Amino acid sequence: DGVEMIIKVFIAQKRKLREGDKMSGRHGNKGVVSKVLPMEDMPYLEDGTPVDVMLNPLGVPSRMNVGQVLELHLGMAAKILGKKVVTPIFDGANSEDIQNMFKDAGMKPTGKFTLTDGITGKKFEDDIAVGVMYMLKLSHMIDDKMHGRSIGPYSLITQQPLRGKANNGGQRFGEMEA
> DSSP secondary structure string, 116-144?
B-TTT-PBPSS-EE------EE-S--HHH
Strands (E), 28-160: 30-32, 112-113, 128-129, 136-137
- Whether residue 79 contacts residue 106, with contact meaning beta carbons closer than 8 Å, is answered with no
pLDDT tens track for 33-66 = 899 999 999 999 999 999 999 888 888 888 788 8
Task: Give the relative orientation of helices 67-81 and 95-105 as an angle to the nearest 10 degrees.
Answer: 30
Higher pLDDT residue, 26 or 178? 26
CB neighbour list of residue 155: distance below 8 Å, 6 or more residues apart: 161, 162
C-beta neighbour count of 25 within 10 angstroms: 20
Q: What per-residue confidence (pLDDT) applies to 86?
A: 86
Q: What per-residue confidence (pLDDT) applies to 150?
A: 66
Architecture of the domain made up of 22-142:
Beta Barrel (2.40)
- Element holding 78 (H helix, E strand): helix 67-81
Please return the burial class of 54, using the count of CB atoms within 10 Å of its CB with bins 0-12, 13-18 and 19+. Answer: middle
Higher pLDDT residue, 161 or 122? 122
CB neighbour list of residue 91: distance below 8 Å, 6 or more residues apart: none
pLDDT at 178 over 60: no
For the stretch 64-94, what's the b/e string if a residue is b when 16 or more beta carbons lie within 10 angstroms of its beta carbon? ebebbbbbbbbebbbeeeeeebeeeeeeebe
d(CA 46, CA 83): 22
pLDDT at 71 over 70: yes
CB neighbour list of residue 178: distance below 8 Å, 6 or more residues apart: none
Domain boundaries, given as residue ranges, for the chain: 22-142, 151-178
pLDDT tens track for 7-16 = 999 888 788 8
